[in-house]
Amino acid sequence: MKIGIVGKPNTGKSTFFSAATLAPAEIGSYPFTTIKPNKGIGYVRTPCACKEFDVQDNPANSLCMNGVRLIPVELIDCAGLVPGAWQGRGLGNQFLDEIRKADSLIHIIDVSGGTDSEGRTCKSGEHDPLEDVKFLENEITMWLANILKRDWSKVVRTAETESKDIPSQLEERLSGLTITRSQILEAIRRTELDAEKLTAWSEEEFLEFVNVLRQISKPMLIAANKIDMPTAEENLERLQKSNYLVVACCAEAELALRRATEKKLIDYRPGDCNFQINKPEQLNESQIKALETIREKILIIFGSTGIQEAINAAFFRLLNMVTVYPVEDLEYLADHKGRVLPDAYLVPYGTTARQLAYLIHTELGESFIYAVEARGKKRVGEDYKLKDRDVISIVSAKKRA
Ligand X SMILES: Nc1nc2c(ncn2[C@@H]2O[C@H](COP(=O)(O)OP(=O)(O)OP(=O)(O)O)[C@@H](O)[C@H]2O)c(=O)[nH]1
Does residue 11 belong to the site contacting Mg ion (CB under 5 A)? no
Decide if 5 contacts 103 (C-beta within 8 A): no
Judged by beta carbon, residue 11 or residue 261, the one nearer ligand X is 11
Interaction partner, residue 28 (ligand X, Mg ion, none; CB < 5-8 Å by kind):
ligand X
Q: Which residue is nearest to ligand X (CB)?
A: 80
CA distances from 10 to 2, 79, 150, 250, 372 (A): 22, 10, 32, 14, 50
Phi-psi region of 17 (alpha: psi -120 to 50; beta: other; left: phi over 0): alpha
Question: With binding defined as CB under 5 A, does residue 261 bind Mg ion?
Answer: no
Q: Find the binder of ligand X among 4, 6, 20, 33 (CB under 6 A).
A: 33
Window contacting ligand X (CB under 6 A); options: 7-15, 132-140, 234-242, 390-398: 7-15
DSSP state at residue 84: T
Verify binding: residue 29, ligand X, rule CB under 6 A. yes
Choose the contact partner of 98 out of ligand X, Mg ion, none; CB within 5 to 8 A by kind: none
Which uninterrupted H or E stretch holds 369? strand 368-373
Residue 33 contacts Mg ion per CB under 5 A: yes
The answer to the question of residue 183 lying near ligand X (CB under 6 A) is: no
Print the binding letters for residues 43-82 with ligand X: x by CB under 6 A, - otherwise: -------------------------------------x--
Q: What is the CB-side half-sphere exposure of residue 368 using CA atoms within 13 A?
A: 26
**Kind plus residue range of the DSSP H or E element containing 358:** helix 353-360
When asked if residue 12 is in the footprint of ligand X (CB under 6 A), the reply is: yes
DSSP category for residue 198: G
* Beta strands 38-47 and 68-77, pairing class: antiparallel
**Which of 336, 339, 333 has the alpha carbon at shortest distance from 389?**
333
- Output 13 or 45, the one with its CB closest to ligand X: 13
Cβ contacts of 333 within 8 Å, gap of 6 or more: 49, 53, 55, 325, 327, 340, 341, 374, 391
Burial of 56 (0-12, 13-18, 19+ CB in 10 A): exposed
- The one-character DSSP state at 399 is P
Stretch 215-234 residues interacting with ligand X (CB under 6 A): 225-226, 228-229
- Applying CB under 6 A, which part among 22-30, 44-52, 60-68, 266-274 lies near ligand X? 22-30
Q: Is 169 a residue that touches Mg ion (CB under 5 A)?
A: no
| 304 lines the binding site for ligand X (CB under 6 A) | no
Residue 252 near ligand X by CB under 6 A: yes
DSSP string computed for 5-29? EE-STTSSHHHHHHHHH-------S
When binding is defined by CB under 5 A, the residue of 11, 14, 183, 312 that contacts Mg ion is: 14
DSSP state at residue 192: T
4 or 9: whose CB is closer to ligand X? 9
251 scored as a contact of ligand X (CB under 6 A): yes
Residue 250 or 333 having the CB closest to ligand X = 250
DSSP-derived letter for residue 151 is H
User: What is the nearest approach in angstroms of ligand X to the Cβ of residue 81?
Assistant: 8
Residues that bind ligand X (CB under 6 A): 9-15, 27-29, 31-34, 80, 225-226, 228-229, 250-252
Residues that bind Mg ion (CB under 5 A): 13-14, 33-34
